[in-house]
Amino acid sequence: MRISALPVVAALALAGACDKKEGPVTKETGGTASVKEQPSGGDKGAGTIALTGAGATFPAPLYIKWVSEYHKLNPKVEINYQSIGSGGGIKQIVEKTVDFGASDAPMKDDELAKAQGKLIHIPTTIGAVVLAYNVPGVPQGLKFSRKAIVGIYLGDIKKWNDPEIAKNNPDAKLPDSDISVAYRSDGSGTTAVFTSFLSSASPAWKEKVGEGKAVKFPIGMGGKGNEGVSGQVKSTPGTIGYVELAYAKQTGLSYGVVENSAGKYIEPSLASVSAAAAALSAKMPDDLRAWIVDAGGEASYPISSFTFIIVYEDMPDATKGKALAQFLWWAVHDGQKFGGALDYAPLPDEVVTKIEAKLKGLKSGGQALL
């Protein structure tokens, strides 16, 4: 799949509720899928069930893969997922114009207070935000100190051969050319993750700019979605931008190695993202609204994040609610095995156990959906 072919609005046909006798398939053990007993439900023989969702672009490559694989099991449910950014996804689920929202940043208390009922966060996968760059003659793996990243995005570091970049990359032929900065122009969970890292790395950034899904960047040019920033970096030499790892890889962009809080330079990978999640998974809050940015530990990649699907605990339509709940059950079990090829790390077992409890608590009119 090429990210360049991924539309901003993707109509995704999803399979429907799993048959009770089949059950959802859990995470694979040793490459062999095992079947875990599924909570009762399913509407075998019923007509098509249409669901709508909107939100984060960060997990879109994986969600599209899930759509394809789940459809092979039982094509009874159709989902239209709009990859519009986390801010848009939160807005639409709060207003109940979609059946589920998607966000890389967990909702804040004030956002939850605006919802028309209790909202539940379901972590779906773990990914990395990377510093993608386009510098002719400079290969993959440029090392970026925390100070360098903050300096670039504050506008204090203006040239690619600045001493703060050069000292950690003695073998790179860094040009005496201007750095062009790209950032997300839309309300973005990826921005929330990245600015959370910058705030952790620098009190100056925290004071001057802060963190969130939309901040006023001191310099640079905005692009819409991970797709937009990836395209901006790819088309303009001298540009650096923050994007999800899958977008950087699938568009052929070079990306950097980042200094973590332990002073180690860590490449974004399944192992380093998993290390970040492992550092905090045992302390996962009951509402599952967890951050793993700058999680600590020498092996942790510092700009890592869960991404979430957000649903109402009490869904207005039982049939649609059951179909969505059963898809989510599949996604956090068998769906995890599809993440590695797209550079998303699987959820830790401790987190999956907590998600199961949340999914079993979903209801419609007071009746359990699973």
Instruction: Supply the pLDDT for residue 77.
Output: 77
Identity at 308, one-letter amino acid code: F
Q: Determine the Cα–Cα distance for residues 66 and 327; give it in Å rounded to an integer.
A: 10
Q: Determine the Cα–Cα distance for residues 152 and 130; give it in Å rounded to an integer.
A: 14
> What confidence category does residue 110 fall into, taking pLDDT thresholds of 50, 70 and 90?
very high
Structure tokens at 20: 């009770």
Instruction: Supply the pLDDT for residue 359.
Output: 98
Q: Is the model's pLDDT at 240 over the cut of 70?
A: yes
Burial of 63 per CB tally in 10 Å (0-12, 13-18, 19+): buried
Structure tokens at 80: 């239209």
With a CB cutoff of 8 Å and minimum separation 6, the contacts of 203 are none
Identify whether the C-beta of residue 309 lies closer than 8 Å to the C-beta of residue 14: no
Identify whether the C-beta of residue 270 lies closer than 8 Å to the C-beta of residue 340: yes
CATH, range 128-270: 3.40.190.10
Partnered with residue 66 across adjacent β-strands are: none
CA 192 to chain centroid: 11
Instruction: Supply the pLDDT for residue 22.
Output: 32
The enclosing H or E element of 80 equals strand 77-83
> What confidence category does residue 134 fall into, taking pLDDT thresholds of 50, 70 and 90?
very high
Say how many CA atoms lie within 13 Å of 235 toward its Cβ: 9
Instruction: Supply the pLDDT for residue 349.
Output: 93
Instruction: Supply the pLDDT for residue 32.
Output: 25
Instruction: Supply the pLDDT for residue 38.
Output: 38
Mean pLDDT throughout 189-212? 97
With a CB cutoff of 8 Å and minimum separation 6, the contacts of 47 are none
Q: Determine the Cα–Cα distance for residues 369 and 319; give it in Å rounded to an integer.
A: 9
Percent of the chain with pLDDT over 90: 75
> What confidence category does residue 46 fall into, taking pLDDT thresholds of 50, 70 and 90?
low
Of residues 130, 128, 129, 125, the one with CA closest to residue 64: 125
Q: Is the model's pLDDT at 12 over the cut of 60?
A: no
Instruction: Supply the pLDDT for residue 231.
Output: 94
The CA angle 351-199-261, to the nearest 5 degrees, is 65
Instruction: Supply the pLDDT for residue 107.
Output: 96
In order, the DSSP letters of 314-364 are: B-S-HHHHHHHHHHHHHHHTGGGGGSGGGT-BPPPHHHHHHHHHHHHT-EE
Does the domain spanning 7-127+302-368 belong to CATH 3.40.190.10? yes
The enclosing H or E element of 178 equals none
For the stretch 276-333, pLDDT in tens is 999 888 788 999 999 999 998 899 999 999 999 999 999 999 999 999 999 999 999 9
Going from N- to C-terminal start, the domains of the chain cover 7-127+302-368, 128-270
Instruction: Supply the pLDDT for residue 82.
Output: 84
* pTM of the full structure: 0.84
Of residues 113, 115, 160, the one with CA closest to residue 136: 160
On the question of a common fold for 7-127+302-368 and 128-270, the answer reads yes
Of residues 346, 351, 309, the one with CA closest to residue 328: 309
With a CB cutoff of 8 Å and minimum separation 6, the contacts of 317 are 364
